[in-house]
Amino acid sequence: MSTQSASTGHLQRRLGLAFGLAVGAGSVIGSGIMRAPGVITNEVPDPSIAMLLWFVGGLFILLSANITAELSTALPKAGGFYVPVREAFGDSMGLLAGWATFASYTAGTAAVALACADFLGMIFPWAALHLQMLAASIALVVTALNWIGVQEGRLLQICGTILKLCLLSVVIVIAFIVGPAPVESTATAGTFVGGTVTIVGIITALQLIYGAYDGWYSAMYFAEEDIDPGRNIPRAMFRSCVIVIAVYLALNLSMYIALDVATLRLSDLPVALVVERAFGSIGMTLVALLAALMAVVTLNALIMIMPRVLFGMASDGLFLHTATRVNRGGTPDIALLVSVVLTIGLIFSGGFVFVFKLMGALGIFVTVLYGAAFFALRRSQPGLARPYRAIGYPALPAIALLVSIALLGAFIFADPISGLYMLGLIAICIPVGIVLHRRRIAHRKNSLGTT
Least confident of 227-236, 285-294, 333-342, 415-424: 415-424
Least confident of 53-67, 94-108, 357-371, 383-397: 357-371
Q: What is the dihedral of CA 126, 127, 128, 130, to 10 degrees?
A: 100
Query: What is the DSSP code string of 95-145?
Result: HHHHHHHHHHHHHHHHHHHHHHHHHHHTT-HHHHT-HHHHHHHHHHHHHHH
With bands split at pLDDT 50, 70 and 90, how would you rate the model's confidence at 360?
low
434: nearest Cα among 94, 181, 117, 11: 94
Could you tell me how far CA 421 lies from the centroid of its own chain? 21
What's the mean pLDDT in 431-435? 74
What's the mean pLDDT in 183-201? 57
Strands 325-327 and 6-8: antiparallel
What's the mean pLDDT in 382-408? 94
pLDDT at 280: 82
pLDDT at residue 182 is higher than 70 = no
pLDDT at 34: 83
Per-residue pLDDT tens for 116-167? 999 999 888 888 888 999 999 999 999 999 999 999 999 999 999 999 999 9
With bands split at pLDDT 50, 70 and 90, how would you rate the model's confidence at 186?
very low
Q: Are 285 and 123 in contact (CB under 8 A)?
A: yes
pLDDT at 185: 43
pLDDT at residue 192 is higher than 50 = no
Q: Vertex 53, ends 52 and 54: CA angle to 5°?
A: 90
b vs e for 200-209, b when ≥16 Cβ sit within 10 Å of the residue's Cβ?
ebbbbbbbbb
- The winner for highest mean pLDDT among 4-18, 201-215, 322-336 is 322-336
9 secondary structure, DSSP code: S
195 secondary structure, DSSP code: P
Q: Are 296 and 88 in contact (CB under 8 A)?
A: no
pLDDT at residue 449 is higher than 70 = no
pLDDT at 160: 94
Q: Are 86 and 97 in contact (CB under 8 A)?
A: yes
pLDDT at 187: 40
Q: Output 429 or 163, whichever has higher pLDDT.
A: 163
pLDDT at 330: 94
Per-residue pLDDT tens for 290-303? 999 999 999 999 99
242: alpha, beta or left, given left = phi > 0 and alpha = psi -120 to 50?
alpha
Q: Mean pLDDT for the chain?
A: 87
With bands split at pLDDT 50, 70 and 90, how would you rate the model's confidence at 356?
low
Rounded to whole angstroms, the Cα distance separating 170 from 173 reads 5
pLDDT at 2: 40
pLDDT at 416: 79
pLDDT at 6: 59
In CATH, the number for domain 13-441 is 1.20.1740.10
Q: Vertex 15, ends 249 and 58: CA angle to 5°?
A: 20
The reply to whether omega before 394 is within 30° of 0 (cis) is yes
Per-residue pLDDT tens for 233-277? 999 999 999 999 999 999 999 999 998 888 888 888 888 888 888
Q: Where are the domains of the chain?
A: 13-441
Q: What is the dihedral of CA 244, 250, 256, 257, to 10 degrees?
A: -170
